[in-house]
Chain A
Amino acid sequence: MGKIVMVIDDDEDVREVLRDFIEDIGYRPVVAANGQEGLDAIRRLDERPCVILLDLMMPVMDGWRFLEVVACDADLASIPVVISTSAPDRAPRGPRILAKPVDLEDFMAELRHHCSGAPASA
């Protein structure tokens, strides 16, 4: 089994397309509909995701809040985050940003960059 790639996005179609694509190219997809679901899912996993593709505008817990929580959690702070957003001008500076609609070749480049080594252990 490949490394875990997490997708947090409130649009179900986007989540499902990406889940299938991630699976097709040999990773283990974990999807969540908002930041809170994402945090819950990570804490249930036996292994840290090698990268999180994070949407910004979401209900319950948005991407900005998710980033704050992750940054303050020593366990999670080291997980690479790539932001996928339709408003790149409002995205926080720092993480790599992929404008929506996400170009899958760009996304694969990110996966190759973050997830090529041995799977990170839990």
Chain B
Amino acid sequence: MGAVSADRGGIRVGEGRTPSLSRLHDLGAELAGALDREQVARVAVGRTVDELGAAAAAAYAEVDGKLHLIARHGHALDDWSELAHDAPVALARAIASGAPEYLSDRDELLAACPALRGARAPVELQAMVVLPLLVDGRALGGLAYGFAAPQSFDRVFHAALADHFAMAMERARLYAELARRADREAEQARVVETLLATSTTLSSELDLDRLFQKLTEEATRLCRAQFGAFFYNTVDDSGEAYVLYTIAGAPREAFSRFPMPRNTAVFAPTFHGSGVVRLDDVTRDPRYGKNPPYHGMPEGHLPVRSYLAVPVISSSGGVLGGLFFGHAIPGVFREEDERLLVAVAAQGAVALDNARLYKDARAARDLEERRARLAEEVGIALTGVAPFDEQLRDCLAALTDRLDLAAAGVWIAERGESALELRAGVVRGDGDGDIAGDRVPIAMESAIGRAALERRQVLIDPLLDPPVDAPGPSDMGGVPGWARRPGIVAFLARPLLVEDRVVGVLALANRRPLRESTIKMIAGVAAQVAVAIGRDVGERERQRFQELFIGMLGHDLRNPLSAVSTGAQAILLAEVLPERSARALQRIRLSAARMSRMVNQLLDFARARDIGSGLPLVRTWADLHAVCRDVVEELRQSHPGRLVVEDYVGDAWGMWDVDRVAQVFSNLVGNALAYSEADRPVLVAIRRERDGVSAEVANSGPPIAADVLPTLFDPFRRAREGRTSMTQGLGLGLYITRQIVLAHGGELEASSGAETGTSFRLRLPLAPKE
């Protein structure tokens, strides 16, 4: 080619014999518009025939190591559609050598192409040009054209022609390459973009139903399917497994008329998670149409030919479901669609796993919140001052409301009894009466009694009518009438245990099956009720004991003391006795009197300890000055020679229990006298304050030890401190004194010091608080 080009500058194209340079220019313009190789070849062969007067022309292109015929014109040339590079023909030779061949007459032609000798052709060729199409020394193909008459070739012109064609071909090749690359990049960009978008969509969706819908829609859009569906396995709240589905590209009715897809030969690989199934035409697949009843698609099914199914597999390995896509046209789904959908399915699986985790966590949290709320409401119901039966009823109301139960009741087992007693019952809705049957035997024939007897939960769910001919105890038997009403399907009786003792039974009926989580919540409430019953039983036993104790102290113990004391006094008054006998009798009388006082103190103590009632008061309108004055006068009589200084200021009338207030002053002034030297005075002062009266009883005796002061008002203080004394009594005096002040709504406190002596200060309001 180099030698040819060197001559190009000197060429002169003759008029009429060869095309002008302007023709060459026109050809260039025409080739510029040809954007693929075939078009370039068509122009080449067309122009050589039309413009140069060639009888025939053929263009070959290099494809995969062979030369392919891509365009021809005329009939004279053998049309080898494919040529090997080493084929014994001029074109192959020229392309291999890179040098054009100009065969000007028949002899030259036959020498170069012996195959033409004897070939029968409509036109016998007399001359031929064979041009390799070269760009930078690389052969893109070749062009040959023959003439019906011998020629004198303008080699420069033909070489320029070859250059034009070669350049055009290369341009077309580059253009095609660019277009392919652009296509590929666009496709890749689309995949990346859609995967990203899908990922964002899926990860932002925690609602399972919406997530499935989105997954189906995205996947259907991505693979350009006509319609898509996602079938997925799910488990409902009661543990039942279901297959649900979402659809895209078709109305729901297009599927809803048909049963769920089963593990047929076509579907199995997807439901088993064993791999992707992509079929150009599902109806031609050997697996298709093997299963009854439809043997293929049911009548009215969406027309599916192209079929693509991708399993969605959880990170834990379980198959979550399958994505199915269809198209009415065969061969729609390509390998890259399959790859893309596998990626989408993986993303979908992660999103599904996340959504499930989220759903589970939320369900667990909701359950915990409900449990806590119920426990709180039950706790509130079971505390307070309302009668216990009311507390139980409130508790059952909370239980039935919160868990939406039809009815519930609490039966209590008294110690030693062989039957349970109904203490509270609640029936909800449609006014269908009350819980009846207040006494239930603790026995096998009653479902409630069985729970108590066997100390285990009796759950009957579902609640069916027992067979008529099956009398006697069975697991179905003994369900009470109130739980046998229409619509009720579950019955539960749970023993209430306190320290391993059955104190009662909580029984209930429900219109729906009882879930495990509900039973757990009921168990929590049962535990709370059991504790409350235990507390109530304990409280009632304590009260009974308290009453017995008070009765014993108040009556049975004091009467004989009365007889002793009065009897001794009677003898003393009636007879003249020897001095010894008289002293002994006097001692009996005083001891009995002291013992009587102690019994009174114990009685006060017992009453003050009676929670909720405290010391009973009988209030009257009275003058505290007068009450105190009487007490002081009595004590002066029994403590001759002692000085008690009284200091009363202001008005001291109020609503007080006179006897009890007198007891307070008697105790405080008595103590002040007992714990100070005989020559030291005791001070009693009463002052009117804004809404009450304050009083002080003080002496200058030895101070009370600092460690004793904080427990000064505790009951049985002396016994606890290990001090005993014949004269000092039980150590209940200050305790009772303070209880009386407290019962009046007042306060009492003590202070003591070496300098200041000991002082008791009390404040009493004028009247009880309303």
Contacts and interface: CB of A to CB of B under 8 A. Distances in A.
Q: Do A and B bind each other?
A: yes
Interface of A: 9-11, 13-14, 17-18, 20-21, 24-25, 57, 86-90, 100-105, 108
Given A13-B559, A21-B570, A89-B616, A101 B565 contact: yes
25 contacts: A11-B559, A11-B560, A13-B560, A17-B563, A17-B566, A17-B567, A17-B570, A20-B570, A21-B566, A21-B574, A24-B574, A57-B555, A86-B559, A86-B596, A89-B616, A89-B657, A89-B660, A90-B616, A101-B561, A101-B565, A101-B566, A102-B566, A104-B570, A104-B573, A108-B573
B446 to A, nearest CB: 42
Contact of A104 (B558, B566, B603): B566
B449 to A, nearest CB: 40
Interface in B624-661: 657, 659-660
Nearest to A18: B566
Given A14-B563, A21-B573, A87-B554, A100 B659 contact: no
Given A17-B570, A24-B574, 12 more contacts: A11-B563, A20-B570, A86-B554, A86-B596, A86-B600, A87-B554, A88-B659, A89-B659, A100-B558, A100-B562, A101-B565, A101-B592
Given A86-B555, A89-B660, A13 B569 contact: no
* Most chain B Cβ neighbours within 10 Å, of A10, A57, A90, A104: A104
B554 A57 contact: yes
B613 to A, nearest CB: 14
Interface string B534-578: 000000000000000000001100111111111101100110000
A91 to B, nearest CB: 9
Q: Which of B558, B562, B603, B616: most chain A CB closer than 10 A? A: B562
Contacts of B110: none
B593 interface: yes
A11 B562 contact: yes
B705 interface: no
B618 interface: yes
Nearest to B659: A89
Given A21-B573, A101-B596, A103-B569, A14 B555 contact: no
A87 B564 CA distance: 18
Interface string B503-520: 000000000000000000
Given A87-B554, A89-B616, A14 B569 contact: no
Interface centre among B554, B566, B596, B659 (most CB of A within 10 A): B566
Nearest to B558: A86
A102 B660 CA distance: 20
Contacts of B593: 101
B231 to A, nearest CB: 84
Contacts of A14: 559, 562-563, 566
A100 B597 CA distance: 10
A108 B569 CA distance: 12
Q: By DSSP majority rule, is chain A's interface helix, strand, loop, or mixed?
A: helix
A18 B560 CA distance: 13
Contacts of A21: 566, 570, 573-574
9 closest A-B pairs by CB: A13-B563, A101-B565, A11-B559, A101-B562, A86-B558, A21-B570, A17-B567, A100-B562, A24-B574
A87 to B, nearest CB: 6
A105 B559 CA distance: 19
Contacts of B554: 57, 86-87
Contacts of A90: 616, 618
A25 B559 CA distance: 23
A108 B659 CA distance: 23
Interface residues of B, number: 27
A57 B566 CA distance: 18
Centre residue among B563, B573, B596, B599 by max chain A CB count within 10 A: B563
A102 B589 CA distance: 11
Contacts of B657: 89
Contact of A86 (B562, B567, B569): B562
Nearest to A86: B558
A21 B570 CA distance: 6
Interface in B645-687: 657, 659-660
A21 B572 CA distance: 11
A108 B572 CA distance: 14
Contacts of B559: 9-11, 13-14, 86, 100
Contacts of A102: 562, 566
Contacts of B564: 101
Contacts of B560: 11, 13
A14 B560 CA distance: 7
A51 B562 CA distance: 20
Interface string B607-622: 0000000001010000
B621 to A, nearest CB: 12
Interface string B575-599: 0000000000000000011001001
Nearest to B660: A89
Contacts of A86: 554-555, 558-559, 562, 596, 599-600
Contacts of B616: 89-90
A119 to B, nearest CB: 22
A122 to B, nearest CB: 29
**Most B C-beta atoms less than 10 A away, residue of A57, A88, A101, A108:** A101
A100 B592 CA distance: 11
A104 B566 CA distance: 7
A101 B659 CA distance: 17
A100 to B, nearest CB: 4
A27 to B, nearest CB: 13
B518 to A, nearest CB: 54
Interface string B44-82: 000000000000000000000000000000000000000
Contacts of A100: 558-559, 561-562, 596
A95 to B, nearest CB: 15
A34 to B, nearest CB: 13
A21 B564 CA distance: 13
Contacts of A20: 570
A75 B600 CA distance: 37
A24 B596 contact: no
A5 B596 CA distance: 26
A103 B563 CA distance: 11
A104 B563 contact: no
Contacts of A24: 570, 574
A102 B565 CA distance: 8
A104 B657 CA distance: 27
